């Protein structure tokens, strides 16, 4: 075995905490290693913390997400994808992240802070079926221009007709205080990212940027991968 292949493990063992220290210490070291760009060491600590039977559900989810990030940055995408499909990782809800990720990757995201609520894409008649005839919010009128690409924080909310994309991705309905978001995993979530106008536009914009930036297919693939995953495809 080459020294280069075992060096990360040797460094990880050298940094390993003494016996008796808990998973919290491993998670802290994993976070510090991620920040320092030491992917293999971060993966070692996060993976070991996941084996602690005393780890709470929320901490397990954080450790799983940290391990997946370390694996992705270390070029182990297959292992990361397998982990992200497991229930321990699915307990870490980040619905607004998906919208922000799609917009940021495509270059459409409007970073402006503050302002009035906005009305992004929604299905036709979304408010009409649940509104009274006298209601001032009976009809939903989609905004235009940059208001279509604001963060979901600024989306106008009608509590009786929550935006379907946000509802499907487990956003709270704002009727009561929410201290922990529910988490589900259904085919509808995949269909949102495949068919929602926001994601379709973001995909087209990202593809157009890749075509303009690089003449070769492999270079375009690397650009898209870099925007979405933080690393090249090859």
Residue 27 exposed, middle or buried by CB count within 10 Å (0-12, 13-18, 19+): buried
Task: Determine if the pTM surpasses 0.75.
Answer: no
CA–CA distance from 92 to each of 25, 62, 178 (Å)? 20, 7, 15
To the nearest whole percent, how much of the chain has pLDDT over 90? 0
Locus of tokens 């005393």: 54
Give pLDDT tens digits for 42-77. 888 888 888 887 777 778 888 887 887 777 667 665
The pLDDT of residue 39 is above 60? yes
Give pLDDT tens digits for 74-91. 766 556 656 765 666 655
Domains of the chain, by residue range, sit at 3-90, 95-228
| E strand residue ranges, 54-192 | none
Residue 138 — pLDDT band, cuts 50, 70, 90? confident
Distance CA 46, CA 110 (A): 34
Residue 20 — pLDDT band, cuts 50, 70, 90? very low
């Amino acid at each position: 075995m080459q020294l280069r292949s075992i060096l990360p493990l040797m460094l990880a063992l050298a940094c390993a905490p003494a016996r008796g220290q808990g998973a919290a210490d491993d998670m802290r070291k994993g976070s510090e290693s991620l920040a320092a760009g030491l992917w293999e060491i971060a993966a070692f600590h996060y993976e070991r913390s996941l084996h602690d039977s005393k780890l709470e559900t929320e901490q397990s989810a954080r450790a799983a997400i940290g391990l997946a990030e370390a694996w992705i940055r270390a070029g182990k995408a297959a292992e990361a994808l397998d982990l992200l499909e497991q229930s321990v990782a699915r307990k870490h809800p980040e619905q607004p992240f998906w919208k922000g990720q799609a917009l940021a990757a495509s270059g459409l995201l409007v970073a402006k802070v503050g302002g009035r609520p906005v009305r992004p894409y929604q299905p036709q008649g979304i408010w009409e079926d649940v509104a009274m005839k006298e209601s001032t919010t009976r009809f939903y009128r989609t905004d235009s221009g940059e208001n279509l690409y604001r963060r979901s924080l600024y989306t106008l909310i009608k509590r009786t007709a929550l935006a379907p994309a946000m509802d499907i991705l487990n956003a709270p309905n704002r009727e009561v205080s929410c201290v922990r978001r529910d988490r589900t995993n259904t085919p509808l979530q995949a269909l949102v990212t495949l068919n929602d106008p926001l994601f379709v536009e973001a995909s087209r914009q990202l593809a157009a940027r890749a075509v303009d930036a690089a003449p070769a297919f492999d270079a375009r693939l690397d650009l898209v991968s870099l925007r979405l995953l933080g690393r090249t495809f090859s």
